[in-house]
Amino acid sequence: MSHETVYAIASGKGGVGKTTTTVNLGTALAEAGERVAIVDADLGMANLAGFVSLTPDSITLYDVLAGDASIDDATYRLADNIVAVPSGTSLDEYAETSPEGLREVVDELRSQFDYVFLDVGAGISHETVLPLGLADAVLLVSTPEPAAVHDSTKTLELTDRSGGTVAGLVLTRTRPDGDISHEEIADRLEVPLLGTIPEDPAARDSVYAGTPLVVFEPDGPASAAYRRLAADLTGVDVPVPTGGDGSGADDDSTPADSAPDQAGATAESTAADSETDDDTDGRQAAHDDVSSAITEAESDP
Ligand code: ADP
Ligand code: MG
Residues 25, 200: Cα–Cα separation, whole Å: 16
User: 3-state DSSP call for residue 223?
Assistant: helix
Question: Measured in angstroms, how far is the CA atom of residue 161 from the centroid of ligand 1?
Answer: 28
Low-confidence stretches of the chain (pLDDT < 70) are 1-2, 95-96, 242-301
Q: Would residue 237 be called left, alpha or beta, if left means φ above 0 and alpha means ψ between -120 and 50 degrees?
A: beta
Q: Closest Cα to atom 10, ligand 1: which residue?
A: 15
Ligand 1 atom showing the smallest separation from residue 206 Cα = 16
Residues 170, 117: Cα–Cα separation, whole Å: 14
Question: Measured in angstroms, how far is the CA atom of residue 18 from the centroid of ligand 2?
Answer: 5
Question: Measured in angstroms, how far is the CA atom of residue 173 from the centroid of ligand 1?
Answer: 8
User: Is 169 within 8 Å of 192 (Cβ atoms)?
Assistant: yes
Residues 37, 30: Cα–Cα separation, whole Å: 9
Residue whose C-alpha is closest to residue 165's, from 10, 21, 18: 10
Question: Measured in angstroms, how far is the CA atom of residue 82 from the centroid of ligand 1?
Answer: 20
Q: Closest Cα to atom 17, ligand 1: which residue?
A: 204
On whether the pTM is more than 0.95, the answer is no
Ligand 1 atom showing the smallest separation from residue 198 Cα = 23
Identify the nearest ligand to the CA of 141 by its number.
1
Identify the nearest ligand to the CA of 195 by its number.
1
Q: What's at 4, amino acid-wise?
A: E
From start to end of the chain, where are the E strands? 6-10, 36-41, 76-79, 82-85, 115-120, 137-142, 166-174, 193-198
Which residues neighbour ligand 2 (ion) by CB within 5 Å?
18-19, 47
Ligand 1 atom showing the smallest separation from residue 42 Cα = 2
Ligand 1 atom showing the smallest separation from residue 141 Cα = 3
Residues 52, 155: Cα–Cα separation, whole Å: 28
Name, in order, each residue with C-beta under 8 angstroms of 269's C-beta and a sequence gap of 6 or more.
Answer: 70, 71, 72, 73, 108
